[in-house]
Amino acid sequence: MRVISGSAKGRPLKSVPGTGTRPTTDKVKEAIFSMIGPYFDGGTTLDLFAGTGGLGIESMSRGIEKAVFIDTEPKSIETIRYNLNAAGFERQAEVFRNDAARALKVLQKRDYRFDLVFLDPPYRMTDADALMLDMISRGLLNPGALVVLEYGSSHTYPEQLESFHHLRSARYGETSVSIYEYAPTDSKPDLSGEEVF
């Protein structure tokens, strides 16, 4: 595993010891960033099931300014901190050990807003869309925020999901990826043709 592109290109990243974590392959990671970027001009990322931290770190290498990493496993937290240090991003990141639902409550209390969210839960978990809706209710997403949802190809997530606009889905063997954009109704452009002053 390595950082594919950007300021930390080529930096090796450590895997989480054991078989409990399934890191996103470089091939899928490259495909994801070709769909959503590939580069960014600042912004804040949430890597909610961070594992190794590879997706959040890749986004920082490509221009994201700050990132928050969440995972429940102590080995993952240790690995994320190691990889952030190896890539030189430890000062731009915060790492928390918590489960996803509780983490969103904490982030709301701390008044976080995100421009890019990575959701890569264990494939047995098939309710990541509920977490997306919870992010809306807690005001955690800036208008135009992108959510990258990675899941097992045996499952299908809805294209229509409240204020999320489905941009694209792709399948890579046992892995599927869907990209959503947060488009709240009050932020949609006025296409009526009338000038607004």
Q: Residue 70 phi/psi, 5° resolution? A: -125, 135
User: Over its length of 197 residues, how does the chain's per-residue pLDDT go in tens digits?
Assistant: 899 999 999 999 999 987 666 678 888 999 999 999 899 999 999 999 999 999 999 999 999 999 999 999 999 999 999 999 999 999 999 999 999 999 999 999 999 999 999 999 998 899 999 999 999 999 999 999 999 999 999 999 998 898 999 999 999 999 999 999 999 876 544 444 444 33
The model's pTM: 0.90
User: Which CATH number applies to 26-186?
Assistant: 3.40.50.150
